[in-house]
Structure 1
Amino acid sequence: MQPSYNKRLDKLRERIKKAEIDTLLVSDARNIFYLSGSNGGYTGAKVMLIVDANTSTLIIDKRYLAETMESAVVDTITAWTEPSYGDIVALLKGSGVKKVGFESTHVTVKQYERLVKEFDAIQLVGVAGLIEPVREVKDRHEITKITDAAAIGDTTFDYITGILRPGMTEIEISIEIDFFMRKHGAERPSFDTIVASGIHSAVPHATPSSKKIEVGDFVTLDFGAVVDGYHSDMTRTVVIGRASGKQKDIYAKVLEAQIAALDAVVPGKVCRDLDAVARDIIAEAGYGENFVHSLGHGVGLDVHEAPTLAKGNEAMLAEAMVVTVEPGIYINGFGGVRIEDLVVVTRSGREVLTLSTKDLLEL
């Protein structure tokens, strides 16, 4: 199944009209890919998508023109003639455009200064959040790609737990994860793979180090794959050797909180309330100060996107959103546990895409 770029553009045009602008300049690579199918921006090429009430035009570095002609679904594709925004002004001249919006959160100060210089006769308006909210609700094509990416994650977890042994370094394990994912269909990892062992596992976003895995260590594995631009994200925590009583207790409490939060996922659920489901369980166990991040986040073309399942977020979940559910407990000088699943919000509840076991593995 191919995405319907026309439907996506129609939704954007409704938002452009409400923003009271004539035309939108789309410069963010992921937004361009979402609206046109062109991945030119990911290559580092200079690319811009121009969307108005009736047409869509893609301007790209001429070195990527042939590839873009094959993949992009837009009305017009053209190449830059000079390293400036003069090409855009030339396209808009005589069209009656008076107010042009640009993605204020994706434009540097330098780019803004160049835009102002070129658009001296046209009013420029910085706009934010026109496209990203549309991306929050996924279509069937997107959910299929995210599901495929999640499946690579599950296969990778099976592989890595089969080779984990004392003496391996965190860096070595992260390399094994990344290589296995690439070998089995991933374009690239979703993010810098996290492998954190022993007391290092008390750092939620630890960077893999030369530390060697030891018997008795918690080992947290947080990784994801990218398939056709779409990300997955999963976390599992295992123990090397026999788990201690304290390790079992902490793991059981995180798992209880995670399952309770999963069971509470439903369309219309307020994000802060979902966060509270897991947070209250962990707090009641005496570890409230040790749950130091939000419950989860949206996943799609970005591995971290809206909605955020956080204490202060009053947004509501909607059918076809894809989010993570990942509570954790982190104790300095001891270690930490995080369990993360990728979830699709369905009409009546949720579908969990991460299928790897959540039993405490003692390897």
Structure 2
Amino acid sequence: MKVPSSELNARMTRFRDRMDRDSPDWEAAAITGKINLYYFTGTIQDGLLTIPRNRDAVFWVRKSYERATAESEFPDIRRMSSYRDAAAVTGKVKKPVYLELDSVSLAQYCRMQKHFEFSGTLPLDAQVAAVRSVKSPYELSIMERAGKIHRHVLEDLVPDLLTEGIDELTLTADLYSVMVREGHQGLMRFGMFNEMLLGQIGFGTSSICPICVDTPGGISGLCPAVPMSGSRERKLKKGDLVVIDIGCGVEGYHTDKTMSYMFGKAIPDEAIRVHERCVAIQNQIASLLKPGEIPSEIYTGVMSSLEPEFKKGFMGYGQNAVKFLGHGIGLWIDETPVIAKGFDEPLEEGMVFAIEPKKGIRDVGLVGIENTFVVTRRGGRCITGTSPGLIPVY
């Protein structure tokens, strides 16, 4: 399960090329975030990756050095007790150092500045995100494995888990057990709010409850202290719409998929028609996922084609509408680029997106769909299945 050295070398080369393009006078970069460290070194440890412009990168590891050397094919791994050890070899940096300013804490920054004495800092978050956004064949092969698990569980196995009277939290626990047995890594990682086990699983209008996460759907939550799990009180009853929006992870990489189920009887015809419209929008967006297409233009084109009445509740019920139609995905569920305004760089072959057109409907819940697509010359290639969702479970 080691990340091949050729893969690590290619990633570092692409990062350096991106830095040369975006910041021609850069002198040094440093990475401390666990997921970025994994991307560039193939192991998650407490450490510091220093990347001088004109010298080879060094991965300084505080804990665990032994595990890092056992897991990683990175060419230069060295032990350190603190940043002082790395600074003694690296020396002072005369120009500003590029750091992950979106995630470096102030305390961590102060410790680094104390020992390296750099003159200032600049962000490298966008450059790393751009490099990570284009998946190699190695990465795509892992994501395709996740997609197969995802499809099988949500399309084939979930209907047998739905029984009258089961509560949301119990279904979540049952589904988690099934996912792990089928190959899910047991957690999902996000750039915005750390980690969770599965995702959003709700019955009826629970699926449009407002939450703190930037997503079209919602969840009732266990309690105010645990708002991201299902409710013990919400029981499944005949006529409920069941909405399952979860990720699947394999070897760190994710796919994202949403399926819905009509339990006991069909939901209203109008809600079914809205769902079918969302599926058509997904397919329209997928057809545009080609190299050279502009994410912001895809977003604007699709949104401008929708009539005002349909937009009510689209991509979020009430005041909770989000301003995107899909998002990049990989080592995080929520990567860039995003199918939204402001993302104006052309798509590249090998990018991967979760496309999720959805609409909240009063007294029904969240209809719509989500699947994961790879950008190709022929348009988006789905790796999580082709079911249109809204599966009847009678």
Q: TM-score, normalised by structure 2?
A: 0.83
> In the aligned structure 2, how far is the partner of 1:118 from the partner of 1:265?
46
Distance in 1 between residues matched to 2:342 and 2:187, nearest whole Å:
30
Q: How many angstroms apart in 2 are the aligned matches of 1:237 and 1:277? A: 27
For each residue in 1:275-309, what CA deviation from the matched residue of structure 2 results, as whole angstroms up to 9, or x when unmatched? 2454355x327220211222110000111000111
Q: Check the 8 A contact 1:102/1:124 in 2, yes or no.
A: no
Q: Aligned ranges for residues 104-123 of structure 1 at < 5 Å?
A: 104-120=101-117, 122-123=118-119
Aligned to 1:50: 50
Maintained 8 Å contact 1:170/1:213: yes
On the 8 A contact 2:18/2:131 being kept in 1, the answer is: no
Q: Match for 1:9: what amino acid? A: M
**Structure 1 residue 356: deviation in Å?**
5.0
Name 2:184's counterpart in structure 1: 186
In terms of mean alpha carbon deviation, does 272-281 or 242-251 score higher? 272-281
Q: Secondary structure at the match of 1:165?
A: coil
Contact 2:205–2:364 (Cα < 8 Å) also in 1: yes
8 Å contact kept, 1:160–1:176: no
Counterpart pick for 1:355 among 372, 379, 385: 385
Residues 143 and 255 in structure 2, CA contact (< 8 A), matched pair in contact too: yes
Where does residue 43 of structure 1 map in the other structure?
A: none
SS of structure 1 residue aligned to 2:392 = coil
The Cα shift of 1:69 comes to: 0.3
Partner amino acid, structure 2, of 1:250: V
Query: Aligned partners of 2:284 and 2:336: how far apart in 1?
Result: 22
Tell me the amino acid that sits aligned with residue 245 of structure 1: D
Would you say the 8 A contact 1:149–1:224 is kept in 2?
no
C-alpha displacement of 1:12? 1.6
Q: Distance in 1 between the 2:304 and 2:19 partners?
A: 41
Unaligned runs of 5+ in 2: 189-195, 210-216, 220-227, 315-320
Q: Tell whether the 8 Å contact from 2:286 to 2:381 is kept in structure 1 after alignment.
A: no
Q: 2:40 aligned with 1:35, yes or no?
A: yes
The letter for the 2-side match of 1:123 is S
Q: What CA distance in whole angstroms lies between the structure 2 residues aligned with 1:48 and 1:196?
A: 41
Deviations 1:324-350 (A, max 9, x none): 111011124431213001000012322
1: distance between equivalents of 2:42 and 2:101? 22
Cα offset, 1:202, TM superposition: 2.3
Cα shift at 1:360 = 2.9
Residues 257 and 101 (structure 1), Cα distance of their counterparts in 2 relative to 1, 3 Å cut: closer
SS at match of 1:236: strand
8 Å contact kept, 2:271–2:361: no
What do the CA deviations read for 1:245-283 (whole angstroms, capped 9, x no partner)? 2332222222222222222322222212322454355x3
CA shift in 2, pair 1:331/1:303, >3 Å: same
CA deviations 1:220-261 (Å, max 9, x no partner) are 101111111111110011111221223322222222222222
Matched, 1:127 2:139: no
Question: Matched residues in 2 for 1:175 and 1:260: separation?
Answer: 34
What SS does the aligned partner of 1:131 have? helix
- Alignment correspondent of 2:10: 7
Distance 1:360 1:117 in 2: 57
Query: Counterpart of 1:240?
Result: 263
**Which structure 1 residue ranges, 4+ long, deviate > 4 Å from structure 2?**
none
Summarize the Cα distance change of 1:265–1:75 in structure 2 as closer, same or farther, 3 Å threshold. Answer: closer
What is the identity, as a one-letter code, of the residue corresponding to 2:347?
A: L
Question: What does the per-residue CA deviation read over 1:193-216, in whole Å, with 9 as the maximum and x for residues that have no partner?
Answer: 211111112240324212111111
Determine whether 1:267 maps to 2:291.
yes
Q: How does 1:1-363 map to 2 (within 5 A)?
A: 2=4, 4-18=7-21, 19=23, 20-40=25-45, 46-52=46-52, 53-62=54-63, 64-82=64-82, 85-93=83-91, 97-99=93-95, 100-120=97-117, 122-128=118-124, 129-157=126-154, 158-190=156-188, 191=196, 192-203=198-209, 204-206=217-219, 207=228, 208-210=230-232, 211-243=234-266, 244-280=268-304, 283-284=306-307, 286-291=309-314, 292-293=321-322, 294-363=324-393
Q: How many residues align?
A: 351
Listed one character per residue, the Cα deviations across residues 75-94 of structure 1 (whole Å, up to 9, x for unaligned) are 32122224xx212211213x
Q: Helix, strand or coil for the counterpart of 1:61? A: strand
The CA deviation string for residues 18-76 of structure 1, in whole angstroms up to 9 with x for no partner, is 53232211111111111111122xxxxx21111123312111224x2222102223232
Distance 1:159 1:285, change over 3 A: farther
**Structure 1 residues 104, 311: closer, same or farther in 2, change over 3 A?**
closer
What secondary structure sits across from 2:109 in the alignment? helix
The AA in structure 2 aligned to 1:202 is I
Any gaps of 5 or more consecutive residues in structure 1? 41-45
**Counterpart Cα distance in 1 of 2:364 and 2:38:** 43
TM-score (norm 1): 0.90
Q: Secondary structure at the match of 1:225?
A: strand
Secondary structure of 1:117's aligned partner: helix
Q: Percent identity?
A: 25
Q: CA RMSD in A?
A: 2.1
| Residues 1:275 and 1:162: Cα distance change in structure 2 (over 3 Å) | farther
How many Å separate the matches in 2 of 1:114 and 1:332?
52
- Aligned residues of 1:258 and 1:278 also touching (Cα < 8 A): no
Distance in 2 between residues matched to 1:47 and 1:361, nearest whole Å = 47
Worse overlay, 241-250 or 105-114: 241-250
In structure 1, distance between residues paired with 2:168 and 2:40: 39
